Amino acid sequence: MNRSVSFKVVLLGEGSVGKTSIVLRYTDNLFNDKHLETQQASFKTKKLNLDGRRVELAIWDTAGQERFRALGPLYYREANGAILVFDITDEDSFNQVKSWIKELKRMLGDDVVLCIVENKVDLEKDRRVSRQTAEEYAKLVNAKLYPTSAKFNKGIEELFSDLAHRMLEKVGPTSNNSNTSETIRRTGIPIQPTSTKEQTNGTTNKKCCQ
């Protein structure tokens, strides 16, 4: 029987781009029209079965407001995958993605699988960052671009599923002689979640240290 594999995924991006909405849509199929500013990073887990391989994702949602920016390394240091989110109606949020990518490349090299997400594609008429610009940039930095609408549940499943495949490809095949769980973790500062824990439809929500 194949081992199960655990990956850590982190969402980064400016405030209000839709990070929490993307995670909530994926894990609980929920959407909230209000912006409830994230104050404290937290993660949810999701179990997948990819081509017979059991995969568990720990998905970290971080706070996007500028005052939390310096805490980024706490969350991305051990990540296997990073989701950099911008809002297609907000050019500044695209510049923030570029800044995060620079930092991730500097701190982690090519070890992390990079996803750039252009969220809110339902607001196409207000688009300020062209698809072509985003695609060219993604190619340049060896990332992949994913258009999403958390509001209308577009591209969300595809984003996480493709990311999980890419992370699996990166770690390569592992031996088949055990059914024990294997956690793929980079070395770095371990994250110590506090005791806050909430169980929702097979997904777990834990808060951390922001």
Q: Among all residues, whose Cβ is closest to ligand GTP?
A: 64
**CA atoms of 19 and 149, how far apart (whole Å):** 11
Q: Is position 155 an interface residue for ligand GTP (rule: CB under 6 A)? A: no
Token pair of 7 as six digits: 């990956």
**Which amino acid is residue 111, in one-letter code?**
D
- To ligand GTP, the closest distance from the beta carbon of 83 in angstroms equals 11
Longest dimension (CA), the chain: 53
> Site for ligand GTP (CB under 6 A): which residue of 2, 4, 16, 174?
16
Q: Which one of ligand GTP, Mg ion, none interacts with residue 139, CB within 5 to 8 A by kind?
A: none
The window from 35-43, 80-88, 132-140, 151-159 that contacts Mg ion (CB under 5 A) reads 35-43
Q: Is position 20 an interface residue for Mg ion (rule: CB under 5 A)? A: yes
**Which amino acid is residue 35, in one-letter code?**
H
Count of other CB atoms within 10 angstroms of residue 38: 20
Per DSSP bridges, beta strands 42-50 and 53-61 are: antiparallel
What are the residues binding ligand GTP (CB under 6 A)?
13, 15-21, 32-38, 63-65, 119-120, 122-123, 149-151
